[in-house]
Amino acid sequence: MSDKQIPTTQHAVLIREFGEPEVMMYQDDVAIPELKDNQVLVKVAYAGINPVDYKTRQGKGWGADGIQKNKFDHDQPAILGFDVAGEVVKSNNEQFDIGDQVAALSFDGSCYAEYVAVDAKMLAKIPESVTLKQAGALPCIGQTALQFVEFADIKKGEHVVINAPAGGVGHLAIQLLVNKIAKDNIKITVICSPEKYAKLDCLIDKSKLAGWIDYTKEDTFPDLQADVLLDLVGNDAGVRALSVLKSDGRVNVLPTIWVDKLKEAGNSRNLSVKGYAVQPSGCDMAKVLQYIADGKLALQIQQTYPLSEVVEAHRELQKGDTFGKIVLKVS
């Protein structure tokens, strides 16, 4: 696509204030972003949505702080969205050519649009056997799952407990963990509802799990003397799960906002609590795309909405019971 063929305006989803899903407005006549050095202009095919998107929209966390400072304080609207897959239409970086299919996790946001400018170091080329839809669902959850499991630093023979193993990050993390059972002789127990436990069949061989805790039934969780808790929920659910750990056990929590609450709750038992936030990386993007291409990870996409129905998509995600991912179809 030559410069002449790139339109000057686009459809995008704008917010001018924080709040409920209705603050997102699907509009045309939005300016196409200007490219800086080492950036690539991507014609968006799919944009994944993540819990961080709706928290940002509500005005919570680092994403919202950035929007307030860089946009709202200057009377400018913002465009949400950190996950993107699409085609390069203009490039200020020699690694990426016009026509390349690429995906990225970009903390600059602005992916709920027809075109987005992305730093080349965040981008990876999409392998031929991976669809644009899969690639659009993958950036945030794929890189988070990969980095989170590495960050947990699980040792040989340890017993690991994970909650929300069927959510966006969880359904990939559980697959990465199960791969460690044979290799590192670890044990894994999952905490989830019966519905989600049934759905794990299409991701892993459940006979390899050490156990399952049904949080909808059990008032107090068993004292498993587990070594590590991977907490993908936080808040009261995270606090409740601490009872599975031995004293001196390790807790790794996403999102980081719950670290203090869990620290306080685990204080008397000397638990080590650490939060993790994903670091966007083109290398990790390439690695996780290759896992999908090689069949080492199965990606679950629950639903696809057109970009114009973003309000409905956010409502669905906020219910908190998705299996896998929700994506927006852009072009």
pLDDT digits (tens, 9 = 90+) for 27-65: 999 999 999 999 999 999 999 999 999 999 999 989 999
Question: Which CB contacts under 8 angstroms, 24+ apart, belong to 197-200?
Answer: 199/166, 199/323, 200/165, 200/166, 200/174
Say whether pLDDT at 67 is over 70: yes
CB neighbours of 176 closer than 8 A, spacing ≥ 6? Answer: 145, 146, 149, 297
pLDDT of residue 293: 98
Tell me the mean pLDDT in the region 211-220: 92
Say whether pLDDT at 1 is over 70: no
Q: Taking all residues of the chain, what is their mean pLDDT, rounded to a whole number?
A: 96
Tell me the mean pLDDT in the region 91-106: 98
CA distance 106 to 123: 9
pLDDT of residue 256: 86
The pLDDT tens digits of the residues spanning 218-261 come to 788 999 999 999 999 999 999 999 999 999 999 999 988 899 99
pLDDT of residue 200: 97
pLDDT of residue 141: 97
Q: What percent of the chain clears pLDDT 90, i.e. is strictly above it?
A: 95
pTM of the model: 0.95
Q: Amino acid letter at 87? A: E
Tell me the mean pLDDT in the region 81-87: 98
Confidence of residue 2 (pLDDT cuts 50, 70, 90): low
CA distance 82 to 107: 6
The pLDDT tens digits of the residues spanning 119-174 come to 999 999 999 999 999 999 999 999 999 999 999 999 999 999 999 999 999 999 99
Say whether pLDDT at 4 is over 70: no
Question: Token match 């519905």: residue?
Answer: 195
The pLDDT tens digits of the residues spanning 285-309 come to 999 999 999 999 999 999 999 999 9
Task: Tell me if 97 sits within 8 A of 150, measured CB to CB.
Answer: no
